[in-house]
Amino acid sequence: MLLLGIDVGGTHTDAVAIGPDGLEAQVKVPTDHDNLLSSIKNGLSEIVRNIDPSRIKQLNLSTTLSTNSIVEGKFEDVGVIVSAGPGLDPHSFMTCKDFHVIPGALDHRGSETRRLDNLTLEEAIASCRKSGVKVYAAVTKFSPRNPAHEKEIGLAIGDNADFITLGHQITGRLNFPRRISTAFYNCAVWRIFNKFADAISGTLDEMNLGHIKVNILKADGGTMPLPLSRKIPVQSIFSGPAASVMGIIALCNITHDSIIYDIGGTTTDIAIFAGGSPLIEQEGIDIGSHPTLVRALKVQSIGIGGDSTISILEGIVRVGPNRLGPSIALGGEIPTLTDALIWKDSCVCGDIGKSKGGFAAFASHKGFEPDELADKAIAYAIDKIHSSTRELVEEINQQPVYTIHELLENVRIVPRKIYIMGGPAKAMKMDIFRKFRLSTEVPENYDVANAIGAALTRTTTELELFADTERGLMFIPSLGHRENIPRNYKLEEAEKDAMNHLLAHLGEMHVAADGSNAQITSSSSFNMVNGSTTVGRNIRVKCQIKPGVVRIHS
Amino acid sequence: MLKAENRLGVIFFPAFDWAISPTHPEREERLLYTQDQLREEGLFDIEGIREYKPEVAQTEDIERVHFCFPEAEAIATRSHYISSGGAIKAAKLIMSGERDRAFALVRPPGHHAMKTIQGSRGFCAINIEAIMCEYIREKYGPKRIAIIDTDCHHGDGTQDVYWHDPDTLFISMHQDGRTLYPGTGFPKEAGGPKALGRNINIPLPPGTSDAGFMMVMENIVMPILDDFKPDLIINSAGQDNHFTDPITNMNFSAQGYAALNSLLKPDIAVLEGGYAIQGALPYVNLGISLAMAGIDYSHVREPGFNPETLRESSEVMNYIASLCDGIRDIYFNPPKESSEGVISGKWSVRHRNIFYDTEGFTESQTESLLLCENCRGLLKVETQKENGPMGFGIEIPAAACEKCRNTGYSLLEEAQIKSRYRYMQMINRKDKDYLRYGF
């Protein structure tokens, strides 16, 4: 049995095959940004050349397709229809020109406080139809408490749309502006992503790999099955950094609070682990000009990488954030961090002689001893990484908490170990160790860790359950599930129901549901009092399949 | 993308695991829907608005303000330490310049807690605003501070804490004490002998709505503030004037609260009361947050808001208009003598019985102020809870003269020798010396 992992990166597409005995094949091919499919196909053909295709069970794929089309603005026009009720002016969250606000309101418990205005809705749809819009996002305030208005808008759009995203299907978490932009992006990339998914399936069939189950990586360090990803393509944004983090988890046995660095050509990605688990962004990731509700690992990118240019301004040596070309060692002209590392004999890559020559010439031109320049450049890069990490840890430790218990327990993250991967990892290991004085590890196969991470990442999912016993109602927004509950429904039953629905949902996606990875992430029950009588309980439960990797070999 | 005009820090601490009792108005559910509303609005995604977690106050922060008998730890729960720590965090954000404004959305509240505390009154045990203000003065030096209390109940605790302090202007607007707890807060309560005109009470008739509050703001509060020129403006932001509040009788709205806040421009707002946890708090808190940040709040409307039906009768408006002139005069032409206390030798002495409604006991208290020519005077308190032991407190103010300072220490020594008191506490703000004796 083999698991394949492909990570389409900025420069290279990495592919690996992993079996019970470990890594069986690995390959790096250049990424062709205008034709991601061909990069994937090339990687795949290299891998299957020496492997019996029938042994392959699964392919996990991380792709920059959705990210790039959003960042570059190459996407389809979307009709966005929202209903807001009282609060901030919804026009502040206008994502595109076909943006319509319909009068109507729900409150925080999901009660309708104003009916949806059907006349305005009809006019909005007519206007979108006139602009030739074929994909629609319908988002109403507090829809995770009651999706009725979103459903009403969806019904009214009906056959006018090739695809509709209803806000509550994205997540049960609250944040109306983010729900608008997430639904908008989901529609915007829907067609381009589905064409890509078709092409992937077609390619696999052509290569006699039709039996492989394909999963797409998500930014939260999990995967989703290809058929599901067709409905929620927005979940595939920023899966690259997640693949790296999962790679480190696969290659190392992380148990402490730790810092993870993925030092690439242009940037260094910093991730923080609490205990053995990666931290998740509290709300969701930002992309384009809007923040979203897409769950993501907390990863901070800084402009320091192997290819970062060395510059000198008024005698001060800096590295990055610009990248003006490859290192001198690889044919560039301006010295980079990698060239500085080569000068100090920490790094072996490309044309060493040319690198050292170019570096020394640059140094003397600027009036520096080459040794001094290299030391200062490396120290600058390490200082930058150090201070950004401290800021990130401090920010995480400042995050709000809402109970006395949490506040007094004072759960602070204190990193005890550093893991480094990416091209310059080995070369910078000792300098980072000297700065932090923390145990520092560079795993084997650090150069393809992201593809390994992709290959071994588990399918994850999360859901929120919301119950209001005064109304006798239980609701799971992302599944669109609603059921009546007795007045004595309790927190324990809600937790049980949430877990059962989570596992059943995985079953529907044909994912072997492993209960041991399912966990409740938060649960609370509030007495609702009217006058001085308890009229019911307001129950909220969140649960998830923990992000993690499959251990197929030990 | 929205950007705030003022950088606003919101310290949100709903204490989701603490309540006086399961069905008490001041309970876990109180800030639940506010949190839902702020999250759903995406308030913390707005550029310039940031959420912070509270700090935990130290016992010293409490004992700098209050005479606590038998001791702070016995009166304040951990929850109180956190809500006052939340207010302190707000102060730090402002004083350090990290934020332009701060809103401490914390519970439990504190404005009924008086100078001397033996227990809990009106859902309050320690005065979180006063703890914040004195923290500021201790760490950042002397400041002229104005506290504007917009809670529906008279801020009798804050009034008491600052009764003798001419550098703190306390203005409380509230539902008339003849119709609501705690039954105090009348214009004649204008401050102690050394701080006359620094304590302003504005009792409003039941049914006062947006126009009435704005009339008071424009005719009393703003002119006084313009004259007092405070270094800091604090809003004790109680939200129980709302027309849906279950324990009061006023007609104020979310729009009104936001407008009041826009005019007042407080540096720091601290949440006080407000018990319409579904129909009012989410909207009022949102309105105040937006107003403080300088963002358009005109779309914030609570369900059932109808300005026509809420509008005050002309009698109510006429009554408020007649209040305005008289009350403004208390600040500009303060009375010659305090309405409370008698002069006995060099001391101004008040005897009081204070009822602790939450716990159901009465404290009897004698408070004396040494009338000094050179400073605001030495404060002395003798107190006894029903059938309980005697407590003694003495406070030397920050700007005390040498004589008052020395008198303070000799009175403390005398009290120790007499051993009439089980508990003794000295608050010496001049030398930052805080002592406690007793068992």
DSSP symbols for A487-528: TT--HHHHHHHHHHHHHHHHHHTT----GGGEEEEEEEEEEE
CA distance A526 to chain B (A): 6
Inter-chain residue contact A401 with B53, CB threshold 8 Å: yes
Q: pLDDT value at position A77?
A: 96
Taking CA–CA distances from B27, the nearest residue in chain A reads: A527
- Choice among B66, B80, B111, B112 that is catalytic: B112
pLDDT digits (tens, 9 = 90+) for A191-214: 999 999 999 999 999 998 999 999
> Is B112 among the catalytic positions?
yes
CA distance A113 to chain B (A): 6
CA angle B322, B327, B331 (to 5 degrees): 155
Q: Which helix (H) or strand (E) holds B9?
A: strand B3-13
pLDDT digits (tens, 9 = 90+) for B385-411: 988 899 999 999 999 999 999 999 999
pLDDT band at A554, cuts 50/70/90? very low
Could you tell me whether strands A105-106 and A112-114 are parallel, antiparallel, or unpaired per DSSP bridges? antiparallel
Q: What are phi and psi of A366, to 5 degrees?
A: -90, 0
**Nearest Cβ partner for B299 among A86, A177, A527:** A86
Taking CA–CA distances from B15, the nearest residue in chain A reads: A403
Sequence-ordered list of residues with C-beta below 8 angstroms from that of B160, at least 6 positions apart, any chain: B114, B115
Average pLDDT rounded to a whole number, residues B423-434: 96
Alpha-helical runs (H) found in B68-167: 72-75, 78-95, 128-140, 156-161
Does A73 reach chain B within 8 Å, measured CB to CB? no
Inter-chain residue contact B23 with A534, CB threshold 8 Å: yes
β-sheet bridge partners, residue B135: none
- Chain A residues with CB under 8 Å of B29 CB are 526-529, 538
More confident call, A241 vs A15: A15
Percent of chain A with pLDDT over 90: 58
Q: What's this model's pTM, rounded to 2 decimal places?
A: 0.91
To test the contact with chain A by mutation, choose from B40, B253, B302 the residue with the greatest count of A C-beta atoms within 10 A, namely: B40
**Nearest Cβ partner for A178 among B45, B79, B283:** B45
Q: pLDDT value at position B189?
A: 97
To test the contact with chain B by mutation, choose from A526, A530, A533, A535 the residue with the greatest count of B C-beta atoms within 10 A, namely: A526
* Rounded distance between C-alpha atoms, residue A4 and residue A213, angstroms: 10
* Rounded distance between C-alpha atoms, residue B8 and residue B94, angstroms: 9
DSSP string, A141-174: TTTTT--HHHHHHHHHHGGG-SEEEEGGGT-SS-
Does A316 reach chain B within 8 Å, measured CB to CB? no
Cβ-based neighbour number of residue B224 at 10 Å: 22
Q: Which helix (H) or strand (E) holds B410?
A: helix B402-418
Inter-chain residue contact A86 with B301, CB threshold 8 Å: yes
Inter-chain residue contact B56 with A400, CB threshold 8 Å: no
Does A538 reach chain B within 8 Å, measured CB to CB? yes
Classified as helix, coil or strand, A548 is coil
CA distance A525 to chain B (A): 9
pLDDT digits (tens, 9 = 90+) for A77-135: 999 999 999 999 999 999 999 999 999 999 998 999 999 999 999 999 999 999 999 99
Buried b (16+ CB within 10 A) or exposed e, B148-178: bbbbbbbbbbbbbbbbbbebbbbbbbbbbbe
Q: What are phi and psi of A408, to 5 degrees?
A: -75, -30
Inter-chain residue contact A108 with B282, CB threshold 8 Å: yes
Residue B15 has pLDDT above 60, yes or no: yes
pLDDT digits (tens, 9 = 90+) for B166-201: 999 999 999 999 999 999 999 999 999 999 999 999
CA angle A380, A383, A389 (to 5 degrees): 140
Taking CA–CA distances from A523, the nearest residue in chain B reads: B16
Q: What are phi and psi of A391, to 5 degrees?
A: -60, -45
pLDDT digits (tens, 9 = 90+) for B334-382: 999 999 999 999 999 999 999 998 888 999 999 999 999 999 999 999 9
Average pLDDT rounded to a whole number, residues A291-298: 92
Could you tell me whether strands A12-19 and A2-8 are parallel, antiparallel, or unpaired per DSSP bridges? antiparallel
Q: For tokens 């002016």, name the residue.
A: A89
How many Å is the Cα radius of gyration of chain B?
21
Q: What are phi and psi of B99, to 5 degrees?
A: -130, 155
CA distance B126 to chain A (A): 17
Q: What secondary structure letter does DSSP report for B393?
A: E
Taking CA–CA distances from A408, the nearest residue in chain B reads: B56
Of A49-53, A316-320, B81-85, B303-307, which one has max mean pLDDT?
B81-85
- Residue type at position A2: L
Does A525 reach chain B within 8 Å, measured CB to CB? no
Give the mean pLDDT of chain B.
94
Alpha-helical runs (H) found in B96-167: 128-140, 156-161
Q: What are phi and psi of B176, to 5 degrees?
A: -45, 130
Asked if residue B338 lies in contact with residue B362, where contact means CB atoms within 8 angstroms, the answer is no
Average pLDDT rounded to a whole number, residues B14-37: 85
Residues in chain B: 439
Q: Name the CA dihedral angle for B17, B18, B19, B21, rounded to a multiple of 10 degrees.
A: 70
- Residue type at position B215: M
pLDDT band at B439, cuts 50/70/90? low
**Closest to B30 in 3D by CA, of B219, B280, B233, B224:** B280
pLDDT band at B25, cuts 50/70/90? confident
CA distance B300 to chain A (A): 4
* Rounded distance between C-alpha atoms, residue A299 and residue A245, angstroms: 9
pLDDT band at B383, cuts 50/70/90? very high
Inter-chain residue contact A400 with B51, CB threshold 8 Å: yes
Q: pLDDT value at position A332?
A: 86
More confident call, A142 vs B21: A142
- Structure token pair of residue B6: 């003022």
- Chain B residues with CB under 8 Å of A173 CB are 39
- Chain A residues with CB under 8 Å of B28 CB are 526-527
* Rounded distance between C-alpha atoms, residue A390 and residue A404, angstroms: 26
* Rounded distance between C-alpha atoms, residue A468 and residue B411, angstroms: 60
Inter-chain residue contact A408 with B45, CB threshold 8 Å: no
* Rounded distance between C-alpha atoms, residue B233 and residue B218, angstroms: 16
CA distance A222 to chain B (A): 25
Does A291 reach chain B within 8 Å, measured CB to CB? yes
* Rounded distance between C-alpha atoms, residue B93 and residue B269, angstroms: 12
